[in-house]
Amino acid sequence: MASRSRKGGDNDSHITHVQIDGLAMMKIIKHCHQDASTPADDAQGVLLGLIMENKLEVTNCFPFPRSIDGVDDDRYQLDMMRLLRPVNVDYLSVGWYQSASSGNYISRQLLESQQQYQESIEESFVIIYDPVKTAAGALSLKAYRLTKQAMELVKDKGYFNFDMLRNLKVGHENMFQELKVVIRNSHLVNALLSELSEVFPETLNLEAMDLGTAPVLQRHLRSIMDCTDEMSQFHQFQKQTVKQQLEKTRYQQRRNVENAARKARGEPPLPDEDFNFKPIQPPRDLEPGVIVGGQMAIYCQQINNFCSQALAKLFLVDSLHQNAPQRPLGQ
Amino acid sequence: MSLDLTVKVHPTVLFQIVDAYERRSQDKARIIGTLLGTYEKNGVEVTNCFCVPHAETQEELFIKMDFASEMYELHQQVAPLEMMVGWFATGPEVTDHSVLIHTYYSKQAKCPTPIHLTLDTIMANGRMSWKAYISNPMGVPGGTGGTMFSPVPVELVAHSAELVGMNVAQNTKYSKTKTFEPESDLSQFTGAVRNIEEMIDHLTAYVDGVLSGTTEPDATVGRQLLDMVHSVPKMSQEQFDEMLNSNIKDLLMVVYLSQLTKTQIQVSEKLSQLKL
């Protein structure tokens, strides 16, 4: 493979945006909507392209088969890249994409995959495509990379614990770094688009005007409710740990006081027994702390966006309705 | 071979053909490849394609067939429902070699009637047009037979998400750097509102024109306008206000809850980061 320019050091500095070819975007859309009715939640694929000075170009992509065993993945990828060479497609994989309806993409698996990619190729990123939002009228394609702290956190492949979170100061807000996405088409594709615009007149995005807010809100709220259940387990654990910690310190103090008293009386100090505190079973691992938190933050953000739009639409309807009696439309 | 076949093509396919054409090696005048899709009752729906390297000169034709079958198998792993339905070529017309390639595909592809799609990337008529053909044998029985490519109607179909993607991509035509940054949600919304405003202006201009006698009244347009006005649900002011207010209250409550949740998460995270 040709050597690619590696800008070492701080990887937040020089990449400003991601440039996607219209073709790659259409292929991602096609793959994620493949199973006619239900947009799949785990459609994944690889992005191919180039790394230029301050932008990452994505010129093509191919989907991964949704197989359970991960063994085939490498084979598939190698075969595909080998076959794409003779047709002159860029063979440098700059990242990968995943579909995530309503933005539910933060999961342990995503963090690990992204971390692997970023280890091998420093500037790689993941594109999250939201099929539900796009079908409703607004193209939703976002590019993310892990920040340095998040990389450290996931590197151990073990369980997060409080110390790691504390030391690295990782919160759900600084796990991902979002990159601007720009769409680019070559001249010939623009000519094709001009042809296509005659067949598909530019729709006026009427779905965006839909006043039916209930179903979308219901879906979002249900997802938040699921996340809240997980979070509550985590919070309980936190509370118990804090309580136990307090009791430990209190016990220790009492011990010290007693030992001082005993010393004053000349008796041997009590042996330092092991605290017979049952160690509280932590949850599976401290995923909820950061991951579910991040996921919930995203849901909340989406709800905010959606509600602000819905409010705008309602006010619009209100103003139209008020104007109606004064402006009878002539026949 | 039913001649009332319609070919439905997704725009993704055309994008891929154009891209493959741009990336071809210097010595090729045109590229060919396989079309993938599904069969329906009266037609074929082409949803995907891939380019196959080939070399052709005046006398001979050479196609990498093992490439084609390997690529097809890989694609099958991702989309088991997509089958080979034909092949495509760039260029304005069907050439002699096309016959050979077509016979190959009709033997190889497990489909009875392979479709041949051409996309005119060199824009011979100043337009990039696409055509589909199927082959029919012709000739006098007993004499030398030949094949004839008869055109089949092509229809472009796209589902809503593809349309959205295309609309976004359309905007790259208008910028010098051929780039376009998709706007944020709210600005897309304002764009849609502006469109509606323009439409209403257009309509009112037309109606004013008819009223003042400057524009020819058209009965169908008038009837459609009447339908549109009648489709606004009739409700009294109080009903409307009540509905509006209850919706607004719902939304505000949800916004409040989501802000609360967000703040709570941030607080809990800060707590977990404190030294206990």
For B17-26, the pLDDT digits (tens) are 888 888 887 7
Which residue type does A136 have? A
Give yes or no for residue A38 having a pLDDT over 60: no
Q: 3-class secondary structure for A117-170?
A: HHHHCCCCEEEEECHHHHHCCCCCEEEEEECHHHHHHHHCCCCCCHHHHHHHCC
Of A245, A237, A28, A262, the closest CA to residue A128 belongs to A28
Round to whole Å and give the CA distance between A57 and A50: 5
- Element spanning B165, H or E: helix B160-170
Give A96's DSSP letter.
E
For A54-105, the pLDDT digits (tens) are 888 888 888 887 655 554 677 888 888 888 888 888 878 888 888 887 667 7
Per the model's pLDDT, the better-predicted residue between B260 and A238 turns out to be B260
Report the chain B residue with the minimal C-alpha distance to residue A37. Answer: B159
Which pTM value belongs to this model?
0.79
Estimate to the nearest angstrom the gap between the alpha carbon of A47 and the chain centroid.
Answer: 17
CB contact under 8 A, A235 and B266: no
Round to whole Å and give the CA distance between A12 and A145: 10
For B103-155, the pLDDT digits (tens) are 777 777 666 778 888 888 777 777 778 888 887 777 777 777 677 888 888 88
CB contact under 8 A, B128 and A138: no
Q: Are A65 and B77 in contact (CB under 8 A)?
A: yes
* Domain spans of chain A, in order of start: 17-209, 232-323
Least-confidence region, from A164-168, A194-198, B152-156, B194-198: A164-168
Pick the CATH number of A17-209 from 3.30.499.10, 3.40.30.10, 3.40.50.300, 3.40.140.10: 3.40.140.10
Q: Are B72 and B51 in contact (CB under 8 A)?
A: no
Which pLDDT does position A286 carry in this prediction? 53
Contact of B222 with chain A, judged by CB distance below 8 Å, is answered with yes
Least-confidence region, from A13-22, A222-231, A262-271, A286-295: A286-295
Q: Are A180 and A17 in contact (CB under 8 A)?
A: yes
Which pLDDT does position A10 carry in this prediction? 38
Which residue type does A22 have? G
Dmax (CA) of chain B: 96
B164 CB-side CA count, 13 A: 28
CB contact under 8 A, B23 and A199: no
Say whether B219 sits in a helix, a strand or coil: helix
Point out the residue among B162, B170, B199 whose CB comes nearest to the CB of A30: B162
Report the chain B residue with the minimal C-alpha distance to residue A184. Answer: B179
Point out the residue among A33, A196, A316 whose CB comes nearest to the CB of B159: A33
Contact of B259 with chain A, judged by CB distance below 8 Å, is answered with yes
For B184-211, the pLDDT digits (tens) are 666 777 777 788 888 888 888 888 888 8
Estimate to the nearest angstrom the gap between the alpha carbon of A329 and the chain centroid.
Answer: 49
Q: Tokens for A176, please give them.
A: 């991902």
Residues in chain B within 8 Å Cβ distance of A83: 67, 70-71, 74
Contact of A40 with chain B, judged by CB distance below 8 Å, is answered with no
Contact of A43 with chain B, judged by CB distance below 8 Å, is answered with no
Q: Residues 44-73, chain B: which have Cβ within 8 Å of A?
A: 47-48, 50-53, 64, 67, 70-71
How large is the C-alpha radius of gyration of chain B?
Answer: 28
Q: Are A207 and A136 in contact (CB under 8 A)?
A: yes
Per the model's pLDDT, the better-predicted residue between B15 and A34 turns out to be B15
